[in-house]
Amino acid sequence: MTVSDLAGSDETILVAQARQSDATAFSELVRRYENKIFRLALHITQNREDAEDVLQEAFLKAYEHLDQFQGNSKFYTWIVRIAVNQALMKLRRRKTDKSVSMDEQFDTGEDTLVREIAAWDEDPEQQFSREELGRILESAVQSLEPPYRSVFVLRDIDDLSTEETAQALDLSIPAVKSRLLRARLQLREKLTRHFKRKGDDAFAYL
């Protein structure tokens, strides 16, 4: 079978075939998730070359250790966990990881914050404004410490559930909620400061 033949296959079927040394099936898994894994790695490492290394290393490790994948979670959740570990190792090797303790506790309270981004029309001026807002948001996300950035990317950008994020990062569900809340609050503060400096209160986030 070619990769195109497997394009519509269920993930569990692809994993089962890949575990039988079917390289084509594994290639389809790579094709499905490589962009998301690269984006996650780039968010964590903030370095394109390192992110490319993480992408390759994560899928290589996944292929080598497919027999250890129990199928209790989605394959994507499993590969995310491998990629996050690889990315954090990159940071440690670069000695630039100034993140807070991975075990830090934070009172979540009622975690009910919801993101809201204003709708934009498609005329050139407003399209430019939207693109500028996208760059501002990206910069704000990049400024988060790695533990918070990882949770935010998985939950609010890749749309993983709290449970899937906890599995991917090897965290408890309360820890995921804690970090997500902290990340959202930090982003809200950063964006509020930015737009106050510009004298523009038309943008809302969270």
User: Does 106 reside within a domain?
Assistant: no
In this predicted structure, what is the pLDDT of residue 141?
Answer: 84
Q: Based on the fold, state whether residues 131 and 193 are members of the same structural domain.
A: yes
More confident residue, 32 or 127: 32
Domain span at residue 143 reads: 124-197
Whole-angstrom distance, CA of residue 190 vs CA of residue 179: 16
Mean pLDDT of 40-66: 90
Q: Based on the fold, state whether residues 143 and 68 are members of the same structural domain.
A: no
E strand or H helix at 163, and its extent?
A: helix 162-169
Whole-angstrom distance, CA of residue 88 vs CA of residue 140: 20
Q: Based on the fold, state whether residues 13 and 77 are members of the same structural domain.
A: yes
User: Does 203 reside within a domain?
Assistant: no
User: Does 22 reside within a domain?
Assistant: yes
Mean pLDDT of 103-120: 38
Question: Which tokens hold the place of 39?
Answer: 């984006």
Q: Is 202 exposed, middle or buried (0-12, 13-18, 19+ CB in 10 A)?
A: exposed
User: Does 102 reside within a domain?
Assistant: no
pTM assigned to the model = 0.59
Domain total of the chain: 2
User: Does 134 reside within a domain?
Assistant: yes
In this predicted structure, what is the pLDDT of residue 170?
Answer: 87
In this predicted structure, what is the pLDDT of residue 107?
Answer: 40
More confident residue, 161 or 196: 161
Q: Based on the fold, state whether residues 190 and 130 are members of the same structural domain.
A: yes
Instruction: Report how far Cα 108 is from the mean position of its chain's Cα atoms.
Output: 21
Question: Which tokens hold the place of 73?
Answer: 């979670």
Indicate whether 201 pLDDT > 70. no
